[in-house]
Amino acid sequence: MTDVKADRAAYYGQIKHRNMAPLWESLHNLVPPQPRPQARPAIWKYAEVRDLVMQSGGLITAEEAVRRVLFLENPGLPDKASITPALYAGLQLILPGEIAPSHRHTQSALRFILEGSTAYTAVDGERVPMQPGDFIITPSWTWHDHGNKTEEDGGEPVIWLDGLDIPIVYQLDQGFAENYPGKVQPVQRESGDSAARYAQNMLPVRHVASNPTSPLFSYPYDRTREALDTLYRHGEVDQWDGVKLKFINPATGSWPMPTMATFMQFLPARFRGRQYRTTDATVYSVVEGSGVAKVGDRTFEFAAKDIFVVPSWVTVSLDADVDSVIFSYSDRPIVSALNLLREERI
Ligand code: 1HN
């Protein structure tokens, strides 16, 4: 009797020398009946990580680090600087008087401000002030640098969540970057310029949307919060989402950036959300309140500034103890563009 196993193993060894492999050994893994995410549900409790972020401020300056960030690594995707297969998340600290020098890259970035009110990010010649709860974008290939007021000027440490499409850009070998010749780019427009042009339900008269990225850089929290509050007072509460809005590019109605979708939702006190799942993988950042997120077989108690991740096709439900607001971002534009988005509201 021939030893089939040994024959096959020998054969696999031979074809490996020619950089080939047998599909029949991998087919079940490559084409699963439903997504089997390697990414795992995980939570970063702000109360547990804030001190560690602050400690980095004593170890390296923002200028030496270029970006002083601790990235959030999904425990199921070790050594990949990934919170989901497509997306990156990090906590960035800028101390009073510091500058994070100007550069640009093909990766798109979002900032979601967690604490501190004295920093700015300069994007494409305009300084954008940062307030907790603000959602700010840094479009692909725009010059950007960050700064903070000096201590004498009332500067305080500022911490924000960075969301970037680094893993997908890396996977596709599309990473390009350049440093600006100086530390900071020159200011070319007054602060508030892009808001005046694009945040008033109007556009400059001859505006042509030549680029998929939003020309509006900042979506301030006070406006977002007021919209959610008004809708809640009008009695609009979805059983899965509470009151949930998506951020858009005002010139196209599409997502603010081509690779990342962003959302803000309000969950009233004692809300018990129903379970859902979607094939986009989502990072949640709690703005206000507290409650419980059930993610797959995990139960996360969340409080303000905590960050948790829901991988593709893993069920999630959100409960709120008190009035709560949650920001989130996902790879939905990528998944949708490939016509792969599936959603199930259970
Ligand atoms: C980046 O440019 C920033 O501009 C933050 O603040 C995080 C991670 C990888 C590559 C570039 C920033 C980043 C980054």
Cα of 320 vs centre of ligand 1, distance in Å, is 32
Q: Is residue 144 a part of any domain in this protein?
A: yes
Task: Answer left, alpha or beta for residue 43, where phi above 0 means left and psi between -120 and 50 means alpha.
Answer: beta
Q: Determine the distance separating the centroid of ligand 1 and the alpha carbon of 344, expressed in angstroms.
A: 34
- Given ligand 1 and candidates 53, 56, 68, 69, which is best to mutate, with the most ligand atoms within 8 Å of its CB? 69
In order, the DSSP letters of 68-137 are -EEE---TTSTTTT-SSSS-EEEEEEE-TT-EEEEEEESS-EEEEEEE-SSEEEEETTEEEE--TT-EEE
Residue 263 CA: distances (Å) to CA of 32, 255, 291, 324, 327: 30, 10, 18, 14, 6
Question: What CATH number is associated with residue 197?
Answer: 2.60.120.10
- Inside any domain, residue 294: yes
The answer to whether the beta carbons of residues 56 and 68 sit under 8 Å apart is yes
Structure tokens at 190: 């007054």
Pocket of ligand 1 (CB under 6 A): 67, 69, 90, 92, 105, 107, 109, 144, 162, 164, 166
Q: Is residue 2 part of a domain?
A: no
Residue ID of nearest Cα to ligand 1 atom 3: 67
Tell me, yes or no, whether 5 lies in a domain. no
What does pTM read for this prediction? Answer: 0.96
For tokens 């911490």, the residue is 159
CA of 160 to the centre of ligand 1 (A): 12
Domain around 196: 42-345
Nearest CA to ligand 1 atom 1: 67
Q: What are phi and psi of 271, to 5 degrees?
A: -65, 135
Q: Is 138 within the bounds of a domain? A: yes
What does the pLDDT profile of the chain (346 residues) look like in tens digits? 579 999 999 999 999 999 999 999 999 999 999 999 999 999 999 999 999 999 999 999 999 999 999 999 999 999 999 999 999 999 999 999 999 999 999 999 999 999 999 999 999 999 999 999 999 999 999 999 999 999 999 999 999 999 999 999 999 999 999 999 999 999 999 999 999 999 999 999 999 988 899 999 999 999 999 999 999 999 989 999 999 999 999 999 999 999 999 999 999 999 999 999 999 999 999 999 999 999 999 999 999 999 999 999 999 999 999 999 999 999 999 999 999 999 999 9
Q: What DSSP assignment string belongs to 138-172?
A: E-TT--EEEEE--TTTT---EEEEEEE-HHHHHHT
- Residue 47 inside a domain? The answer is yes
**Residue 23 included in any domain:** no
Shortest CA distance to 121 belongs to which of 151, 140, 101, 91? 101
CB 291 within 8 A of CB 320: yes
Q: What is the pLDDT of residue 282?
A: 98
Distance 221 CA to ligand 1 centre (A): 22
Instruction: Return the best residue to mutate from 136, 164, 179 for the ligand 1 pocket (most ligand atoms within 8 A of CB).
Output: 164
Structure tokens at 210: 């030549």
pLDDT of 209: 86
218 φ, ψ (degrees, to nearest 5): -130, 135
Q: Say how many Å lie between the CA of residue 88 and the centre of ligand 1.
A: 10
Q: What pLDDT does residue 1 have?
A: 58
Number of domains in the chain: 1
